[in-house]
């Protein structure tokens, strides 16, 4: 069977290049290993039709990467508009930030239809298509319109919010209905599944039976497939990174100082303002940490043409300057704030050099930085993960120190606890988290989803013949997460 993976953003195979976001970093090793074809945006736009738009194809390990130019007339409305100014804020429970025009929605649908037409080049009877993320909610429906009978799966990397929040997105009902063209819809957590199933029930009167919903489009299996990382690969990379010049320079610059690290895109869902405020508070309540601890916050610029992101960037710059100005000393800066990206291999070395990893989003689908921080640690002397209870990763990483990112004082005290934790407790927590990570790697996630997609599609055919859904209960590779 051929597998075609589709996402808006794709990653190139260069280990020394910065990567934007969890999706691209997560998919790269599995595409390389599985031999799938990965199709996405080239990052450029053009006026040509999908037939004439040149496909740039590159080898990616055993797999391949194909990039195409998206339509110039619709790209802004699709990416900055509907995807990132209407869907993204809603999916992260920020209805106050939803901005959407009718034109943006039109562009979103146009780009979904364009991608569907482009995928006809990859249509083979035996191919399965796995669509990624909120940029392409309606792609499955467009493919069915074009006569695709192939297995079509969809995975959402973000949370799915409460019904009242998604209702703030114009045309949300149309989009949810369009999603029912997929054979399988995967979410990060059971909470996301529940929220989505509630939308189906309240808006369409549809019920889930044994993880399957039957609609006028056929049957759709729905389940939670928590995404993982390449645990051993990342750990090995982090060990090797010790010799990277950036990592050595970081270690040298610390002297005897200890380090906390945060790595995020500049995004309002990541809780960066609250995190900086928590460090501000930490130095107030525990002045002994001054000149002893600093935060390295890597804040990669993101979606900068969107007002909410631009505003956040300015707010963070002001806040960091203020905190550093008040607490800093001639020979010590409390917050080392960097507005740039680093490659995965360098980041692994930074994580290993840091005694505390702070991953405190207000909302997050999974957050792979949390998992990478854990995997990168030195088993003999591991650091402590301080993790928001609103990250999907909190379900598995219950041995992290979990925090409420809205409670600044609580976060400050938890960071102080992390900095004072004895090595035995650090090891115990780390080993427990590593067991969870090894039980749900990115390779298991990938295989579990694809196997379930094939089964869900096969059961769909049976349903079409008998009229009764006949899907046997399924389990993901690690056994636990499907209805």
The residue (of 23 and 459) whose beta carbon lies closer to ligand G6P is: 23
- Residue in this structure with the two tokens 């804020």, named with its chain if needed: 89
The residue (of 22 and 440) whose beta carbon lies closer to ligand G6P is: 22
Query: Any catalytic annotation for residue 280?
Result: no
Q: How far is the CB of 46 from ligand G6P (least distance, A)?
A: 19
Residue number, nearest CB to ligand G6P: 21
Q: For residue 457, which phi and psi values (nearest 5 degrees)?
A: -70, -40
Q: How far is the CB of 78 from ligand G6P (least distance, A)?
A: 11
Query: Whole-angstrom Cα distance, residue 154 to residue 319?
Result: 39
Residue 343 DSSP label? B
- Residue in this structure with the two tokens 């909120």, named with its chain if needed: 134
Q: How far is the CB of 267 from ligand G6P (least distance, A)?
A: 8
Q: How far is the CB of 290 from ligand G6P (least distance, A)?
A: 35
Q: How far is the CB of 475 from ligand G6P (least distance, A)?
A: 25
Three-state DSSP state, 454 = helix
The residue (of 113 and 227) whose beta carbon lies closer to ligand G6P is: 227
The residue (of 107 and 158) whose beta carbon lies closer to ligand G6P is: 158
Q: How far is the CB of 157 from ligand G6P (least distance, A)?
A: 4
CB 186 within 8 A of CB 153: yes
Residue 117: CB atoms within 10 A of its CB come to 15
Residue 331: CB atoms within 10 A of its CB come to 7
The residue (of 373 and 430) whose beta carbon lies closer to ligand G6P is: 373
Query: Whole-angstrom Cα distance, residue 390 to residue 142?
Result: 33
Instruction: Tokens for 100, please give them.
Output: 């959407």
CA geometry: angle at 348 spanning 343 and 354, to 5°?
125
Query: Whole-angstrom Cα distance, residue 73 to residue 51?
Result: 16
Binding site for ligand G6P (CB under 6 A): 9, 20-24, 133, 157-158, 302-303
Query: Whole-angstrom Cα distance, residue 93 to residue 76?
Result: 23
Residue 134: CB atoms within 10 A of its CB come to 22
Catalytically annotated residue among 157, 171, 244, 457: 157
- Residue in this structure with the two tokens 């690290």, named with its chain if needed: 261
Q: How far is the CB of 178 from ligand G6P (least distance, A)?
A: 18
The residue (of 78 and 350) whose beta carbon lies closer to ligand G6P is: 78
Strands 127-132 and 152-155 turn out to be: parallel
Q: How far is the CB of 253 from ligand G6P (least distance, A)?
A: 29
User: What string of DSSP letters covers 118-186?
Assistant: HHGGG--TTEEEEEESGGGTTHHHHHHHTT--S-EEEE-SS----HHHHTTSTTHHHHHHHHTTSSEEE
The residue (of 22 and 469) whose beta carbon lies closer to ligand G6P is: 22
Strands 184-187 and 212-215 turn out to be: unpaired
Query: Whole-angstrom Cα distance, residue 173 to residue 169?
Result: 9
Q: How far is the CB of 132 from ligand G6P (least distance, A)?
A: 7
Q: Which residues contact 421 (CB under 8 A, 6 or more apart)?
A: 384
Q: How far is CA 231 from the centre of its chain?
A: 16
Q: For residue 202, which phi and psi values (nearest 5 degrees)?
A: -75, -35
Phi/psi region, residue 171 (left: phi>0; alpha: psi -120 to 50; beta: rest), is left
Phi/psi region, residue 329 (left: phi>0; alpha: psi -120 to 50; beta: rest), is beta
Range list of H helices, 255-367: 272-285, 307-327, 344-353
Query: Any catalytic annotation for residue 364?
Result: yes
The residue (of 26 and 208) whose beta carbon lies closer to ligand G6P is: 26
Catalytically annotated residue among 183, 364, 443, 457: 364
The residue (of 41 and 297) whose beta carbon lies closer to ligand G6P is: 41
Query: Residues with catalytic annotation?
Result: 157, 364
């Amino acid at each position: 069977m051929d597998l075609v993976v589709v996402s808006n953003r794709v990653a190139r195979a260069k280990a020394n290049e910065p990567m934007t976001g969890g999706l691209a970093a997560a998919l790269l090793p599995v595409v390389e290993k599985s031999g799938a074809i990965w199709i996405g945006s080239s990052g450029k736009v053009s006026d040509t039709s999908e037939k004439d738009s040149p496909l740039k194809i590159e080898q990616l390990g055993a797999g391949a990467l194909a990039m195409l130019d998206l339509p110039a007339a619709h790209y802004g409305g699709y990416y900055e508009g509907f995807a990132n100014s209407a869907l993204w804020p809603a999916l992260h429970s920020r209805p106050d930030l939803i901005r959407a025009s009718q034109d943006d929605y039109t562009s979103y649908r146009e780009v979904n239809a364009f991608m569907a037409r482009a995928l006809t080049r990859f249509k083979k009877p035996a191919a399965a298509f796995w669509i990624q993320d909120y940029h392409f909610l309606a792609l499955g429906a467009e493919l069915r319109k074009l006569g695709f009978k192939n297995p079509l799966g969809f995975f959402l990397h973000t949370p799915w919010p409460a019904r009242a929040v998604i209702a703030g997105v114009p045309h949300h009902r149309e989009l949810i209905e369009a999603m029912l063209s997929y054979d399988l819809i995967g979410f990060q957590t059971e909470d996301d599944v529940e929220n989505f199933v509630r939308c189906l029930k309240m808006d369409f009167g549809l019920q889930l039976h044994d993880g399957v919903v039957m609609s006028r489009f056929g049957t759709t299996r729905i389940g939670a497939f928590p995404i993982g990382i390449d645990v051993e690969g990342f750990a090995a990379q982090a060990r090797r990174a010790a010799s990277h010049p950036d990592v050595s320079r970081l270690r040298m610059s610390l002297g005897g100082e200890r380090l906390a690290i945060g790595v995020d895109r500049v995004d309002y869902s990541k809780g960066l303002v609250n995190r900086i405020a928590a460090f501000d508070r930490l130095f107030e309540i525990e002045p002994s940490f001054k000149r002893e601890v600093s935060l390295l916050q890597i804040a990669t610029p993101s979606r900068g043409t969107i007002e909410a992101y631009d505003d956040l960037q300015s707010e963070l710059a002001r806040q960091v300057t203020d905190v550093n100005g008040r607490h800093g000393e001639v020979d010590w800066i409390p917050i080392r704030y960097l507005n740039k990206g680093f490659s995965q291999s360098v980041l692994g070395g930074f994580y290993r050099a840091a005694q505390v990893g702070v991953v405190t989003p207000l909302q997050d689908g999974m957050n792979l930085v949390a998992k990478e921080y854990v995997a990168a640690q030195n088993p003999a002397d591991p650091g402590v993960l301080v993790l928001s209870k609103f990250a999907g990763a909190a379900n598995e990483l219950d041995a992290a120190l979990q925090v409420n990112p809205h409670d600044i004082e609580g976060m400050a005290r938890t960071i102080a606890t992390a900095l004072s934790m004895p090595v035995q407790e650090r090891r115990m927590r780390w080993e427990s988290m590593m067991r969870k990570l090894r039980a749900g790697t990115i390779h298991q996630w990938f295989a579990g989803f694809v196997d379930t997609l094939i089964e869900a599609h096969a059961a769909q055919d049976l349903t079409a013949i008998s009229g009764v859904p006949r899907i046997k209960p399924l389990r993901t590779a690690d056994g636990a997460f499907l209805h």
